[in-house]
């Protein structure tokens, strides 16, 4: 296992970490054995934005006796009171959730405390108004939190928080599709390619490490049918792609159990040819025809919808990302508020019928999807 040092700290972080959004598919015994297997193979970095409460106790048992050898990302705003993931900025709920997570993990400190899921300006306003950010800062002053982090998909908002100088780490979505730009200079994600690359470089320059989520695009990039390129990439290609970006410390694949983990660990012994992602240079713009690639070229929406983000959460949810529904539900303006004016359809460079897409997405999240 290779390790990279946290710029603002002494921690040496494994280039492969683990996400928890899918591991609830296994029983607690399998989860515990999977975490133990990860630690035995040199993985020491774990993100705890789980889609269910179930994994926490299993993680706590797995790290008994080796707590000082692992690092956790805990999210201030992830709420598990109902047993499944929910997003909250209610400070009392945030405090209860953090206390519960610490109890389940059998620890009294947090390696990386995260301002959780700030994708819209309203998210940041709520986190500030509720006192969540101040609470996180207080815990850092008390030594309960070692480092402050942020999870986001939106470069503009990340830059605003970087301006405050409080971050040691950023959890950000990086993969070949989100960073891709075609010959017509249409971007495939929230924020232009230039904006995203400048963000990575800024993080590296300012000593803010990056932990990578969505390296496989919620699994979409691994399947030619769901990939915006209409061609499949491999897990190893996606991991290497992310690791080669400025500022990146670790990539956090979501796994379901030991079988997935064993396959991911194979990256450490993979040949350069297996990790070579140069094939993305052959992908043509027409490969994305009729597919929303979250470029937001259709903005501004007359009704105020964030069309790219709505599509992104929908696609991730359909691909099995258990957290995506919660992210969608906290949007201020949702798909069912589309006024079908046709503005986005006219502006979409990939000829996506977004008006029909909004109806499809609304039906899906409202439980009326028959597909």
Q: Which of 195, 371, 223 is nearest to 296 (CA)?
A: 195
pLDDT at position 350 over 80: no
**Whether residue 235 has pLDDT greater than 60:** yes
Is the Cβ–Cβ distance between 289 and 68 less than 8 Å? no
Mean pLDDT of the region 220-245: 88
Q: Find out whether 187 and 149 touch, Cβ atoms under 8 Å.
A: no
Say how far apart CA 89 and CA 132 lie, in whole Å: 7
pLDDT value for 26:
86
Instruction: Please provide the size of the chain in residues.
Output: 371
Q: Is residue 196 very low, low, confident or very high in pLDDT (cuts 50, 70, 90)?
A: confident
Where is average pLDDT lowest: 11-25, 188-202, 333-347? 188-202
Mean pLDDT for 198-227 is: 89
Average pLDDT for residues 228-245, to the nearest whole number?
90
- CA 18 vs CA 180, 272, 346: distances in Å: 25, 22, 41
Mean pLDDT of the 246-269 span = 94
* Pairing label, strands 78-79, 86-87: antiparallel
Residue range 247-275: mean pLDDT, rounded? 94
**What secondary structure letter does DSSP report for 222?**
G
Alpha-carbon separation of residue 354 from 188, 191, 253, 338 (angstroms): 16, 19, 30, 9
Percent of the chain with pLDDT over 90: 53
Split at pLDDT 50, 70, 90, the class of 289 is low
Q: Check pLDDT > 60 for residue 371.
A: no
Top pLDDT among 182 and 319 is at 319
pLDDT above 60 for 40: yes
Percent with pLDDT over 70 in the chain: 91
Rounded CA-CA distance 122/147 in Å is 24
Q: What is the pLDDT of residue 370?
A: 52
Residue 96 exposed, middle or buried by CB count within 10 Å (0-12, 13-18, 19+): middle
**Which pLDDT does position 293 carry in this prediction?**
62
Q: pLDDT tier at 369 (50, 70, 90 boundaries)?
A: low
- Each domain of the chain, given as residue ranges in start order, spans 3-282, 289-365
Structure tokens belonging to residue 29: 């015994």
Superfamily (CATH H level) for 3-282: NADP-dependent oxidoreductase domain (3.20.20.100)
Q: What is the mean pLDDT of residues 68-93?
A: 90
Q: What is the mean pLDDT of residues 190-206?
A: 84
Structure tokens at 329: 């539900």
Name the band, by pLDDT with cuts 50, 70 and 90, for residue 20.
confident
């Amino acid at each position: 296992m290779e390790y990279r040092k946290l710029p603002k700290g002494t921690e040496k972080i494994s280039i492969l970490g683990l996400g928890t959004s899918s591991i609830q598919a296994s029983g607690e015994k399998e989860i515990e054995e999977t975490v133990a297997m990860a630690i035995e193979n040199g993985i020491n970095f774990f993100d705890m934005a789980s889609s269910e409460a179930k994994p926490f106790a299993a993680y706590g048992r797995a790290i008994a006796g080796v707590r000082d050898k692992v690092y956790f990302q805990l999210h201030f705003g992830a709420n598990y009171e109902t047993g499944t993931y929910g997003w909250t900025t209610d400070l009392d709920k945030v405090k209860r959730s953090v206390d519960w997570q610490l109890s389940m993990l059998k620890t009294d400190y947090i390696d990386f405390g995260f301002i959780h899921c700030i994708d819209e300006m309203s998210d940041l306003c709520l986190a500030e108004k509720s006192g969540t950010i101040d609470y996180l800062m207080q815990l850092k002053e008390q030594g309960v939190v070692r480092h402050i982090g942020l999870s986001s998909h939106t470069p503009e908002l990340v830059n605003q928080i970087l301006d405050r100088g409080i971050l040691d780490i950023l959890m950000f979505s990086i993969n070949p599709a989100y960073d891709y730009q075609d010959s017509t200079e249409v971007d495939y994600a929230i924020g232009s390619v230039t904006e995203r690359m400048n963000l990575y470089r800024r993080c590296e320059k300012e000593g803010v490490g990056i932990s990578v989520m969505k390296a496989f695009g919620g699994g979409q990039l691994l399947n030619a049918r769901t990939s915006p390129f209409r061609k499949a990439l491999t897990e190893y290609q996606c991991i290497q792609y992310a690791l080669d970006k400025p500022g990146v410390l670790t990539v956090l694949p979501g796994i379901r159990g030991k079988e997935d983990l064993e396959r991911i660990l194979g990256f450490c012994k993979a040949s350069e040819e297996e990790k070579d992602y140069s094939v993305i240079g052959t992908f043509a713009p027409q490969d994305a025809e009729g597919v929303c690639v979250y470029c937001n070229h259709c903005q501004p929406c007359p009704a105020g919808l964030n069309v790219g983000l709505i599509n992104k959460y929908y696609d991730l949810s359909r691909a099995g990302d258990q957290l995506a529904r919660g992210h969608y539900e906290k949007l201020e303006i949702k798909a069912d508020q589309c006024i079908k004016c046709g503005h986005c359809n006219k502006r979409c460079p990939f000829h996506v019928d977004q008006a029909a897409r909004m109806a499809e997405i609304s039906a899906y999240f409202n439980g009326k999807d028959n597909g």
